[in-house]
Amino acid sequence: MQRLIVAEQDMDSRKQITDLLIEAGYNVTVTSSAAGAVEEILKNASQLVILGSEFDDITAGDLVPLLKLCNRHLTIILVSADDSLPAIRRVRKQGIFYHALRPVHAEDREELCQAVKCAFASLDREQGRSDRSGSHHTYH
């Protein structure tokens, strides 16, 4: 089962995203704080994070580089509703996989599920490349 972290400060949004992804068949870990997200990533609990736009007065623009330092292979999907275009451009440059609006309508929920599906497919392809390119030694 594919694991991911939902890191969202807003309780209603966190519950909605979590319920949606559990229903889609994912194993979901949930946190409402930046510290909780960092802890889960450091434990290598998941390669994918659904990230809200702000935690504990820390913006996603400040949090994304920190999360990437914890795990440079981390895939991040930013979910926000009202970030400015310059703020979104900034996090895109920092290496997020996708930016989605908070799911309000059925189309929004489908978009988020498709983004998660694509992110896991991308991770699987990357993992396959690293498995093939890595050197394997057998010692006798």
What structural domains does the chain harbor?
Answer: 3-127 (3.40.50.2300)
Residue-averaged pLDDT of the chain: 86
The β-bridge relationship of strands 54-55 and 27-31 is: unpaired
- The predicted structure's pLDDT at residue 136: 42
The answer on pLDDT for 121 being more than 70 is yes
Q: How confident is the model at residue 129 (pLDDT cuts 50, 70, 90)?
A: low
| 3-state SS record for the chain | CCEEEEECCCHHHHHHHHHHHHHCCCEEEEECCHHHHHHHHHCCCCCEEEECCEECCEEHHHHHHHHHHHCCCCEEEEEECCCCHHHHHHHHHCCCCEEEECCCCHHHHHHHHHHHHHHHHHHHHHHHHHHHHCCCCCCC
**Contact 46/73 with Cβ under 8 angstroms?**
no
Q: Which residues pair with 79 in a beta bridge?
A: 100
Q: How confident is the model at residue 140 (pLDDT cuts 50, 70, 90)?
A: very low
Share of the chain above pLDDT 90, in %: 52
Q: What global pTM score does this model have? A: 0.86
